[in-house]
Structure formats: C-alpha cells, structure tokens
Amino acid sequence: MEQHPVASALSRVVAAEAERRGISIRTLASQIGIPHVTLARRLNINSPSPLTADEIDRIANAFELKPSDLFLAAEAHAEQGAA
C-alpha cells in the first residue's frame, strides 16, 4: 500500500527538523517515549511507516511546535515534490 504524499513528507519534515536542531533519532525517541527503532522505522526515507496522531503530537511538543506546524511544512514539501 502506497503512502499518501503528505504522510511521506511529514516523515521527511520531522527527520529534517530533528537534524536542524541537532537531535538524534535516539534522543528524540527517548523524549517522546517510544523505542528508537520504532521512530527510525517511521522516519525511514525510502519507505516510512506512518506516524500516529499521538506520535505527531509528542514530536511537535518536543520541538515546541504545534502539530499543525508539522503538517503545514509537510504539505508544502509534498506540493514542491509534485511540481
């Protein structure tokens, strides 16, 4: 089953934001309370598994953002990829 472009873009946005902030996937996973292998699987660039609503909320809180900020960035990223 192919993932929606915004869902894939959301994974890329989260990974890029973590990198921009100098936060490793292991550290972010610890901050949001999930195993790092789960988060790594969610953020896998080649075939990410979808982030859950709860994970998105926790990630946004860890970044001191609103979940909508992540979605807006992902939507813009997906639109750029479609253009």
Number of separate domains in the chain: 1
| In the predicted structure, residue 2 carries a pLDDT above the cut 90 | no
> How many angstroms separate the CA atoms of 7 and 61, rounded?
19
- Burial class, 9, CB count within 10 angstroms (exposed 0-12 / middle 13-18 / buried 19+): buried
Model confidence at 1, pLDDT cuts 50, 70, 90, reads very low
Mean pLDDT along residues 6-17: 90
Q: How many residues can be counted in the chain?
A: 83
User: What would the pLDDT profile of 19-61 be if each residue is shown by its tens digit?
Assistant: 999 999 999 999 999 999 999 999 987 776 889 999 999 999 9
CATH of the domain at 74: 1.10.260.40
Model confidence at 82, pLDDT cuts 50, 70, 90, reads low
Q: Percentages helix, strand, coil for the chain, rounded to the nearest 5?
A: 70, 0, 30
Domain that holds residue 65: 5-82
